[in-house]
Structure 1
Amino acid sequence: MLEINKGIGKPVEFRGLKGTYLYLSAGIIVSSLVLALILYGLFGLNTYLATLIVVGSGIGGIWYCMRLSAKHGVSGLLKLEATRNQPKAILVTSAKPFAQLRETKRPKSRSRSTTTGR
């Protein structure tokens, strides 16, 4: 019998690029094609120079994505971004929040009979 859903739960992978890095590298390829159109079409740059710039930036971007994929893993880019957004320190300049914690009334716990049923 054939397994229909063999790849369920696994990240998308293509030649070592996994998950988010694959989509990032696809965006790099598309943006390099747009760069080629801009350099050659709008600015009239020399064909060979435009090709060299576009191929160099494309290969450099893909190499950078491969390096990030190998270093951080599948969801490492998201974790890296999350750690960048965390504050370095939390500074409390007033004791007011802690005083409010002391003043709040907590509900009394219900007394239960501790029968174990043995």
Structure 2
Amino acid sequence: MLEINKGIGKPVELKGLKGNYLYLAVGIVFCSLLLALILYGLRANTYLITVVVLTITLGGVWYCMRMSAKHGVWGLTKQEATHSQPKAIIFSSAKPFAQLRETKRPSHRKGTAPTGNRK
């Protein structure tokens, strides 16, 4: 008997493009088609439009396939996370560290139970 939910939990994959790289490649193709329409509307040379659009499309899809093969499904997400982290955290004063030591400790001693809410 075949399993009905065979692909649940697996990332989307098409011809080696996995996960977010597939969506990125589709976006590149869509944007290059829009670029072709805009350039054609501006009455540019048809052969030049064809060469430019094919170069952008094939180069973009090739780049997506290469990155998908190199980094896997979550590579794009990891790359975004890496770029959003600061390279260094610089403190100009010691005030944040001084506040760490100012934590209030319980006032009761060992063996005695705390006595309700004090105000």
TM-score scaled by structure 2? 0.84
Could you tell me which residue of structure 1 aligns to residue 21 of structure 2? 21
4+ long deviations beyond 2 Å:
106-112
- How far off its partner does 1:102 sit? 1.2
Q: 1:82 corresponds to which residue?
A: 81
Q: Percent identity?
A: 69
Partner of 2:115: none
Q: 1:108 to 1:17 in 2, by over 3 A?
A: farther
Q: Distance in 1 between matches of 2:48 and 2:72?
A: 35
TM-score normalized with structure 1 length: 0.85
Give the 3 Å change call, closer, same or farther, for CA 14–108 of structure 1 in structure 2. Answer: farther
Q: CA RMSD in A?
A: 2.0
Deviation at 1:39, TM superposition (A): 0.9
Change (3 A) 1:111 1:62: farther
Which residue identity lines up with residue 22 of structure 1 in the other structure?
Answer: L
Give the whole-Å Cα distance in 2 for the aligned partners of 1:51 and 1:109.
80
**Distance of aligned partners of 1:35 and 1:110 in 2 relative to their CA distance in 1, 3 Å threshold:** farther
- In the TM superposition, 1:103-114 aligns within 5 A as 103-107=102-106
Q: How far 1:72 moved relative to its partner? A: 1.4
Question: Which consecutive residues of structure 2, in runs of 5 or more, have no partner in the other structure?
Answer: 112-119
CA distance in 2, matches of 1:110, 1:67: 64
CA distance in 2 between partners of 1:23 and 1:10 (Å): 15
AA aligned opposite 1:30: F
